Amino acid sequence: MSTRRLVTVPAVLIAFSVVTGALPALVVVALLVDLLRPAARGTFVTLRLVLFLEAFLVTEVLGLVLLAVVGVASLGSRPRREAMTWPVQRWYTGTLMAAVKALFAVRLEIDGAELATPAEPVLVMIRHASVVDVLLPAVLLANPLRVRLRYVLKRELLFDPCMDIAGHFLPNCFVARDGGSSLEEIGAVRALKDGIGAGDGVLVYPEGTRFTEQKRRRVLERLRGDPAALARAERLRHVLPVRPGGPLALLDAPPACDVLFIAHHGLEATATVANAWSGALVGGTIRVKIWREPGASIPRGRDAQLEWLTARWERLDDWLASAHTASAAAAEERRMLPETR
């Protein structure tokens, strides 16, 4: 862990120094690119991306400073360190989401926010389609409601030093996506429910990775030998099938908790840097749908729980299908407006 940080922390500091020093020149180049590139005209997306890079690096550096203060001021006490880290995490995620909303002129519409009460512990299951949607649970739950979310995260995020340090100051679990240590990692995920109470939550991305059409096709190809699983997977058009290990471990582990499902539409344009450079996010709307399933309604037994979770995942996919249809219709209406004037 310390060896990794000897590389990642200096790398962030160097990147911050270089980008900040070169920012005036980068702004000029970005403006020229946007003026010369037809796809960017009217959106100035290259300029927005440059400014977001600077905002990210500033937030990252300030986050490292705050975490260093936490590390010293907590005096080796883990409870004190956790208590001091939660506000830093809220500031970090809130600042980055505010930068996304301001620089890309996006709006956030939430249906079901009133269901996300911190009165009792919850499991949170959210789709994964973007490098930005990792901020949504914090913006929806952790920050406004002070829910102390414990995350199941991919190990690649350890190369972000703020995520690495804060992620180890708090109870989180970083897992490999290749399944190489699945039994050990499933046990670590299950342990995230140990000691949770009112105001706590555990969050997992049931797909295990970001959705793309290419990944969906690869999943379907792998399931050719299992007709029943293939049929279920083919019904899902906008999400990947659930990877059952972590989610089922959390459903099975005590205590029984209500489950919040979070669907969102509008961040697909940030699935990759290339997608973001298309400018599709600029001026867009991020629509979020939240619904709550009572813990008492969750069946016992692995097969029954998998069937229960799959049915809810299909409901989430149905909502996304409706959101895609509505978005496409709105885009077509905007495209036709000049012709009808």
54: CB partners within 8 A, 6+ apart: 19, 20, 23
Tell me the one-letter amino acid at 125.
Answer: M
Is residue 220 a contact partner of residue 230, using CB atoms and an 8 Å limit? yes
The number of domains in the chain is 1
Q: How much is the average pLDDT of 95-105?
A: 95
Q: Does residue 180 register a pLDDT over 80?
A: no
Q: How much is the average pLDDT of 17-26?
A: 98
> Can you give the pLDDT at residue 341?
41
Q: Does residue 340 register a pLDDT over 50?
A: no
Is residue 55 a contact partner of residue 89, using CB atoms and an 8 Å limit? no
> Can you give the pLDDT at residue 117?
76
Query: How far apart, in whole angstroms, are the C-alpha atoms of residue 146 and residue 108?
Result: 19
One-character DSSP codes across 24-80: HHHHHHHHHHHHH-GGGTTT-HHHHHHHHHHHHHHHHHHHHHHHHHHHHHTTT-HHH
Output 206 or 178, whichever has higher pLDDT: 206
3-state secondary structure of 17: helix
Query: How far apart, in whole angstroms, are the C-alpha atoms of residue 172 and residue 201?
Result: 11
First to last CA, the chain: 62
pLDDT digits (tens, 9 = 90+) for 135-152: 999 999 999 999 999 999
Q: Does residue 182 register a pLDDT over 90?
A: no
The answer to pTM > 0.85 is yes
Q: For the purposes of burial, counting CB atoms within 10 Å of the CB of 204, is it exposed (0-12), middle (13-18) or buried (19 or more)?
A: buried
> Can you give the pLDDT at residue 332?
64
Work out the pLDDT band at 183, boundaries 50, 70, 90. confident
Q: Does residue 91 register a pLDDT over 90?
A: yes
Which pair of structure tokens corresponds to residue 148? 């102390």
126: CB partners within 8 A, 6+ apart: 133, 136, 137, 203, 205, 261, 262, 263, 264
pLDDT digits (tens, 9 = 90+) for 226-284: 898 898 899 999 999 999 999 999 999 999 999 999 999 998 877 777 778 888 889 98
The parent domain of residue 46 ranges over 2-340
Percentage with pLDDT > 90 across the chain: 70
